[in-house]
Structure 1
Amino acid sequence: MNIGEASRLSGLPPKTVRYYEEVGLIKPARASNGYRCYRDRDVHMLRFLQRSRSLGFTIDEARRLLSLYEDSNRKSEDVKRLASSRIAEIDRKIAELKSLKRALADLSEQCHGGHAPDCPILDEIAGKIREEA
């Protein structure tokens, strides 16, 4: 099948399919005219990669997961270690976002929101810029 069909069946844009080939995650066959020729297995791998990425795994982690998936001698502890590491990173990002939300909410509460030009939100941002400069 061609890239359009593989794209449709995997739910990935053709650009992403080409990128996954470029970084070595999939290796479609080539027809005599040089066109990519995707097999059912390639589409299965593309779906696997799409799902891995939708769960937040990086390209390198998805590569490792794909390698483990294809390894019949894999240890599930290796897969769990990858998942646990991703969970820890998600938790770190959630904590960071909660902190940002609290800081912005505090600033927003200080802002009167009227027609006057004074704005504690802009003052705070300007203060941070001056400190960094």
Structure 2
Amino acid sequence: MYIGKLAELTGATRKAIRLYESLGLIPIPGRKGKYRVYSDNDVVLINLIRRAQTVGFNLAELKELVALKAKNNRFPIEMASELIAMKREKLRKDMARIMSTDQRLIELEDELKRNFG
């Protein structure tokens, strides 16, 4: 499939797909004439990249995982699991901070109503 079809199937822009290629996140595709030809595996990889980005992974982190996969000839699931655990821990801390801020806002509103309401 050509880049337009890949973009359509994944929701990624052509520019993003080319960026993923240049960073080594997806393999450089074969060519048919002057056009890049992508595989179904590229659809899977791009969907995974985009999903990982939506939960806080940046392209540098993903590039590191892909590099380890290439070096060891297998996906570094243990490292990915560790990165996910770290992201989840940060998320829990952020949620606790947000809940604390929300509680202080409620208390401030109550105090304002008591003193000026």
Q: TM-score, normalised by structure 2?
A: 0.65
Task: From the superposition, tell whether residues 88 and 21 of structure 1 become closer, same or farther in structure 2 (CA, over 3 Å).
Answer: same
2:97 and 2:12 mapped to 1: Cα distance? 30
CA offset digits 1:21-52 (Å, max 9, x no partner): 4544233445544x543332222210121222
Quick check: 2:10–2:47 contact (8 Å CA) kept in 1?
A: yes
User: Structure 1: which 5+ runs fail to align?
Assistant: 113-117, 119-133
User: What is the rounded CA distance, in whole Å, between the counterparts of 1:108 and 1:32 in structure 2?
Assistant: 67
| Alignment partner of 1:90 is 2:117 | no
Q: Which has the higher helix share?
A: 2
Q: Give the whole-Å Cα distance in 2 for the aligned partners of 1:74 and 1:38.
A: 21
Q: CA deviation at 1:74?
A: 5.3
With over 3 angstroms needed to count, the CA separation of the structure-2 counterparts of 1:68 and 1:102, relative to structure 1, is farther
1:105 paired residue number: 106
Distance 2:105 2:22 in 1: 41
CA RMSD of aligned residues (A): 3.1
The structure whose RCO (Cα within 8 Å, separation 6+) is larger is 2
Distance in 2, Cα, partners of 1:102 & 1:56 = 26
Structure 1 length as normaliser, TM-score?
0.60
Specify whether residues 44 and 17 from structure 1 end up closer, same or farther in structure 2 by C-alpha distance, changes over 3 A only: same
Q: How many residues align?
A: 112
> Larger Cα Rg: Structure 1 or Structure 2?
1
Identify which range, 42-51 or 2-11, moves more after superposition: 2-11
CA distance in 2, matches of 1:43, 1:96: 37
| 1:39-97 deviation digits (Å, cap 9, x = unpaired) | 32222210121222233323223233444556445554323221211111111221222
> Equivalences for 1:1-133 in 2 at 5 Å?
1-26=1-26, 27-29=28-30, 32-33=33-34, 35-67=35-67, 71-73=72-74, 76-112=77-113
Distance 2:105 2:18 in 1: 40
Structure 2 residues not aligned, in runs of 5+: none
